[in-house]
Amino acid sequence: MITNIDFENFTAFEKLHLSLSPRVNVIIGSNGTGKTHLLKAIYGLGLMAGGKYPDRSDKGFSASASGKFLRIFSTEDDRVGTLSSKGAQSPTRLRLVNSDDSAIEVTFGAKFQYLEFALGTAQPQPADTPVYIPTKEVLSLVRGIRHPNHDRATVEMIFDDGYVNLAELLVQPGSDEKTTGSIEDPRLSNVLRKLVDLVGGRYRLRDDGGFNFEPGHYEEKAKPKTAPSRSESQTARAYQDSTQTRFVSSGSQSFPTGMTAEGYRKIGVLHRLLSNGSINPGETGVLLWDEPEANLNPKLMKEVVLVLLELSRNGQQIVVATHDYVLLKWLDLLMDKKGKEDHVRYHVLQRRKEDGQMSVYSTDDYGQLVTTGISKTFGELYEAEIERSLKGIAL
Amino acid sequence: MTKVQEIDLELSFPGAQAVIHFDDNDYHASSTVQRVDFIAEYEAYYLFIEIKDPDIPNAQNPAAFVEKLHSGKLVQSLAGKFRDTQFFRSAQGKNDRKVFYIVLLSMQSLDNALLLAKQDELRKAIPIRHADWADDCAESCIILNFEQWQRQFGEQSLRRISEGAG
């Protein structure tokens, strides 16, 4: 669980301090305010802390970790120094602190090729691996990204590691695809069912490395009884034990991913990551999702927000970056602060008028967001509407 | 100057020829005409004014209003009031000027995006326009919140009585 993030002289951020909610965090800002850079930096640092990079004692660690860190940003330069703020007088410093006080900190100067790791940086905790979902849908790209005949260098030039890493997670088999065929984690049963119901089926990996959409739904079925008598206090647990949730194909033909709507594929990505354990609330690291609204029918947004809240209630830390009023408003309307202890923190990135530097303010109060670009946009629309409707009218 | 009062809100119509308190039970006797609160008559147009004030201090049942808003019943009711008032005015022969329907919805928690959405719903519900009509049945229809009303018509045009001064 990440508690704090500090950046100095990193791309557009001269100084940035974020204190994250353990539940849901929303990064808001217009284009060019560095939302994606922020998500990617958290992802890169999280990967380093999560043991996805080589062993730190290894001689080539710094070079290898730096290369991987850069690959997330798809820079055309092979020096980490390219991520320093332009004209910065002091080195770039990135620091990420976890709830157990472990931290990872890297520094580099504008001309550095590799990252320098600060002393005392935490040893990798493999369980904390973060998951990054980029703006574009990835399911339809997996086959192309992973195809053995495709030149790696070319693939990597086209897709940054946000895409490549996600492709690797997506090909892991889901628990509902294994021989038992049922959802293994009862906590996720509702969420998985909801996701499949939203799009009317699931995406399955084909032998050739692509995905097919398989129409169907989940059904709960009773398991054969083994223990006939139980005390009442065991009823809830027993209910879980006595039922299993299995995917039931509707019988209609499955078809290639590309034939389904892009918004549906985004839902499919989330479903696969949950059903194959790549996202495992309380076990795996932070979920970073860049613009969930991209290509998503706004009607689906309510359900997506419900899913995010449900995951967060199960211990999943989430950071989404968004431009979308609909996402923000549903979060505000659907969160249950008292009953379910939901917590949403909004982090607003803005360019300061005085010096053009990025600043951030964080608030747990939706009502404080009236000054954001998203809200202003609707204000302008409303005023234009009033002007048109009441032209020439005085009381 | 013509001032009217709707519970805790006071509205001013300095340029009006007349302001009619249309939602008057005695005037309508036992008919079931749904009516807007006020009609302000000007030389060139009529304003139908409907006032909703869920932000009134010590509101009796704010949750019920929110429920009415979300269920779509509020929009239906606002549309019905407009239609019946139009019908009544036609029968009176007072359909000789442009009509503007202005709903004052004093509800701070309703943000701009939601106001816009409700307004679009209201226009469709009335309806303002129909393919088989030569003209729209109203010049326009708009929902204003407290601040927008003041911005549009001036600070003096609207005040909350319980807050004194003005």
Q: Which residues of A touch B113 (CB under 8 A)?
A: 325, 329, 378, 381-382
pLDDT in tens, B5-19: 999 999 999 999 999
Q: Residue A238: in which H helix or E strand, if any?
A: helix A235-242
Decide if B2 touches A, using CB distance below 8 A. Answer: no
CATH number of the domain that residue A47 is part of: 3.40.50.300
Buried b / exposed e across A93-116, counting CB within 10 Å, b at 16+?
bbbbbbeeebbbbbbbebebbbbe
Residue A301: half-sphere exposure toward Cβ, Cα within 13 Å? 20
B152, B155, B159: best mutation site toward chain A, by most A Cβ within 10 Å?
B152
ipTM: 0.80
Decide if A302 touches B, using CB distance below 8 A. Answer: no
Cα–Cα distance for residue pair A175/A276, rounded to 1 Å: 6
DSSP A261: -
Peptide bond into B14 cis (omega under 30): no
Do residues A90 and A9 lie in contact, with contact meaning Cβ atoms separated by under 8 Å? Answer: yes
CATH topology of domain B3-163: Restriction Endonuclease (3.40.91)
Do residues B78 and B118 lie in contact, with contact meaning Cβ atoms separated by under 8 Å? Answer: no
Do residues A315 and A303 lie in contact, with contact meaning Cβ atoms separated by under 8 Å? Answer: no
Question: Is A272 part of a structural domain of the chain?
Answer: no
Q: How far is B30 from chain A (nearest CA, A)?
A: 32
Question: Is A225 part of a structural domain of the chain?
Answer: no
B100, B111, B155, B158: best mutation site toward chain A, by most A Cβ within 10 Å?
B111
What pTM did the predictor assign? Answer: 0.79
Count the domains in chain A: 1
Q: Which residues of B touch A390 (CB under 8 A)?
A: 100, 102, 140, 142, 152
One-character DSSP codes across chain B: --EEEETTEEEE-TT-SEEEE---HHHHTT------SEEEE-SSEEEEEEEE-TTSTT-S-HHHHHHHHHHTHHHHHHHHHHHHHHHHHHHHT--SSEEEEEEEE--TTS-HHHHHHHHHHHHHHTTS--TT-SS-SSSEEEEE-HHHHHHHH-GGGEEEGGG---
- Out of A378, A388, A395, the one facing B112 most closely (by C-beta) is A378
pLDDT in tens, B45-69: 999 999 999 999 888 888 888 888 8
- Name the residue in chain A with its Cα closest to that of B115: A382
Decide if A365 touches B, using CB distance below 8 A. Answer: no
User: Is B112 within 8 Å of A329 when comparing Cβ atoms?
Assistant: no
Q: How far is B153 from chain A (nearest CA, A)?
A: 6
pLDDT score recorded for residue B35: 96
- Name the residue in chain B with its Cα closest to that of A390: B140
pLDDT score recorded for residue A237: 55
Q: Which residues of A touch B116 (CB under 8 A)?
A: 378, 381-382, 385
- Name the residue in chain A with its Cα closest to that of B42: A395
pLDDT score recorded for residue A241: 60
Do residues A42 and A130 lie in contact, with contact meaning Cβ atoms separated by under 8 Å? Answer: yes
User: Is A394 within 8 Å of B15 when comparing Cβ atoms?
Assistant: yes
Question: Is A24 part of a structural domain of the chain?
Answer: yes
Question: Is A162 part of a structural domain of the chain?
Answer: no
User: Domain residues of chain B, as ranges?
Assistant: 3-163
- Name the residue in chain A with its Cα closest to that of B13: A395
Cα–Cα distance for residue pair A344/A174, rounded to 1 Å: 29
Q: How far is B79 from chain A (nearest CA, A)?
A: 17
Q: Give the CA diameter of chain B.
A: 50
pLDDT score recorded for residue A377: 80
pLDDT score recorded for residue A212: 93
Q: Which residues of A touch B40 (CB under 8 A)?
A: 395
pLDDT score recorded for residue A124: 56
User: Closest by alpha carbon to A9, among A124, A122, A112, A87?
Assistant: A87
- Range(s) of the domain holding residue A338: 1-130+285-365
Q: Which residues of B touch A393 (CB under 8 A)?
A: 45, 47, 100
Q: Which residues of A touch B2 (CB under 8 A)?
A: none
Question: Is A351 part of a structural domain of the chain?
Answer: yes
Phi/psi for A66 (5° steps) reads -65, -45
Q: Which residues of A touch B148 (CB under 8 A)?
A: 382-383, 386
pLDDT in tens, B101-146: 999 999 888 888 888 888 889 999 999 999 999 999 999 999 999 9
Neighbour count for residue B58 (Cβ, 10 Å): 7
Per-residue pLDDT tens, chain A, 395 aa: give them: 999 999 999 998 999 999 999 999 999 988 878 899 999 999 999 888 765 555 566 667 788 888 889 999 988 788 999 999 988 889 999 999 999 888 889 999 999 999 888 765 556 565 678 999 999 889 999 999 999 999 888 888 888 999 999 999 999 988 777 655 677 788 888 999 999 999 999 999 998 999 999 999 998 877 665 555 555 555 555 555 667 788 888 888 888 888 888 899 999 999 999 999 999 998 899 999 999 999 898 889 999 999 999 999 999 999 999 988 889 989 988 998 888 899 999 999 988 888 778 889 999 988 787 667 777 788 888 888 888 888 888 88
Q: How far is A365 from chain B (nearest CA, A)?
A: 13
